[in-house]
Structure 1
Amino acid sequence: MSRARSSSSNPSGIHLLTDRRPIRELVRAAALGPGDLVIDFGAGPGTLTGPLAATGARVLAVERDDGFARRLRGRFAGAPVRVVHGDLRRVPLPRREFSVVASIPFGASTALLRRLLGDPALALRGADLVVEWGFARRVTATVPRGLEAAWWAARFELALRRRIPAACFTPAPSVDAAYLRVRPVAEPLDRRGHRALRELLRAAHARPGAPVHRVLRELGGKRWLPMLGEYAGGPAGEVPPPRWAAVARGMAAGEPGPGLN
């Protein structure tokens, strides 16, 4: 379910994903099975909840609308589905490993990603999301514009898998949507690495036009300059977040960069 700008013909602003093709694609990509935990944020009438429950996974269906929440409880009584009547911006997140498969309200995209990708202690296995097209393009840019998005992109693989036309929703929103796939990077950072990464990203975004070598020298990390590869000679603001993560990993481990003794 997405929630876009309301109109006189759709005062609720709710747009339900009704095309079965993207629904099947999202559920299949999540690779869920018995014993897994998955959250369906903005569950609506259960369009995604049903296919998710069919995988054998335990499903948390989060829905703030009173009517939808009642329908969900009735529809999935006896199924491995727990309906959580609440706002996705505030419901507690699991302490155990979990996945997310959801068609979320467009206006809540930033808030949800902030919750899912901001805290390194959160055990997010992956997220397969339907979001607004423009938002997906911004967060998957090679060099995100904002510090927060760079923090996400340094620790997760954010991929815009495909466009989902507005016609796939009922009623159709005014803009297209996108399938945004989120997975943790293969080599996660430890606590020291996260601290180093925060320092690097803050310095780079505070002075995006400054030469990279100067930023690293001021942080005591110039010897890791070769880890930036072709970006080593350019401005700090043009370095992709995964390259900063590589430097942070080296700084945390105390290892020299490639080609250094």
Structure 2
Amino acid sequence: MPARTPRSSTPARRTDRRTDRRPSTANHHGIHLLRSGTAVRGLVESAALGPDSLVLDLGAGPGTLTAPLARTGARVLAIERDPGFLARLERRFGDHPNVRVVAGDLTRVPLPGRPFQVVASIPYDLSTLLLRRLLTDANGGGSSLAAADLVIEWGFAQRVSRAAPRDLETAWWGAAYELRVVRRVRAAAFTPAPSVDSAHLRVRPRPGLTGRRVRRLLYAMLAEAFRCPDQPARTVVAEVAGRSAAGRILGESGLDRGVRAGAVPADRWAGVARSALGLSRR
């Protein structure tokens, strides 16, 4: 499962000085293969797969994750675009009844229509594009993602899992999904070692946000909140749900009426949206 040297998706400032001082290993193809058995076991155990599960190994490489995923009994789609890796995957898993090798770009390959999980080590420069495919869902449709356990660049993982997001996109991800850094994955866990550490990011949908109506309501509140982050959260709720209901909704959500919209944690916006929908149904 290759991870490529970070470009656009990697924050300019890293959170750990030790990673800044680590020399970069020459790697003209930009591919770093996860080789840590501990990291692989952690990803697979976190996914908690079973025979009824459908799991995507995006950027499967030589099949380091594909093999333990297949042993869970889940149906595995090993997606890879590199011809050399594809040939190795076909030789290794061609006879496995629960593994299908798919030639495709992880940023373009069609996603399943039924609920699916993703367990993968993601190329650094594709992290943002991939999370957009899996998590961005402003109109209440989108993918059928049931869970994801991803290895991504450490600084990027810290940014997207921050309680108080910096922008609308990461606010939506954090409000609709629980994004939690499970553990640090050191650069030495890859061959060749990249210049920065990675993280195991656990992604799970938040409960009570599966309906189109509540998701649209949530997105409308977030869009208004990040249009003017310094306005009170009460103003945001009043704009979307009505002035008469704003105070009650905030009270049910446990938010102070004067709190600044941009300071509200992403998961609290999810509670606001659920309260607003529940009030509208009474």
Per the normalisation by structure 1, the TM-score is 0.93
Over 3 Å off, 4+ runs: 5-8
Mapping of 1:10-159 within 5 angstroms? 10-79=27-96, 80-119=98-137, 120-121=140-141, 122-159=143-180
Aligned to 2:261: 236
Aligned: 1:253 with 2:278: yes
Distance 2:273 2:254 in 1: 14
Paired letter, 1:3:
R
Give the drift of 1:228: 4.1
Higher relative contact order (CA 8 A, sep 6+): 2
Give the drift of 1:60: 0.5
Give the drift of 1:250: 2.0
Q: Is the 8 A contact 1:189 1:249 kept in 2?
A: no
Matched residue SS, 1:187: coil
Aligned to 1:4: 5
In the superposition, relative to structure 1, how do residues 241 and 8 fare at CA in structure 2: closer, same or farther (>3 Å)? closer
Distance 2:212 2:179 in 1: 22
Matched residue SS, 1:178: strand
Q: Which moved more, 1:182-191 or 1:72-81?
A: 182-191
CA RMSD in angstroms comes to 1.9
Distance 1:201 1:153 in 2: 11
Deviations 1:188-211 (A, max 9, x none): 242211121111001100010011
Match of 1:196 among 203, 217, 222: 217
Aligned to 1:170: 191
Distance 1:29 1:5 in 2: 25
Distance 2:109 2:213 in 1: 29
Match of 2:246 among 222, 227, 248: 222
Q: Is the 8 A contact 1:231 1:238 kept in 2?
A: no
In the superposition, relative to structure 1, how do residues 211 and 172 fare at CA in structure 2: closer, same or farther (>3 Å)? same
Per the normalisation by structure 2, the TM-score is 0.86
In the superposition, relative to structure 1, how do residues 174 and 159 fare at CA in structure 2: closer, same or farther (>3 Å)? same
Matched residue SS, 2:254: helix
Distance 2:6 2:85 in 1: 19
Seq. identity, %: 54
Give the drift of 1:255: 5.2
Aligned length: 257
Give the drift of 1:213: 1.9
Q: Point out where structure 2 has 5 or more consecutive residues left out of the alignment.
A: 8-23
Q: Is the 8 A contact 1:227 1:243 kept in 2?
A: no
Q: Point out where structure 1 has 5 or more consecutive residues left out of the alignment.
A: none
Paired letter, 2:218:
L
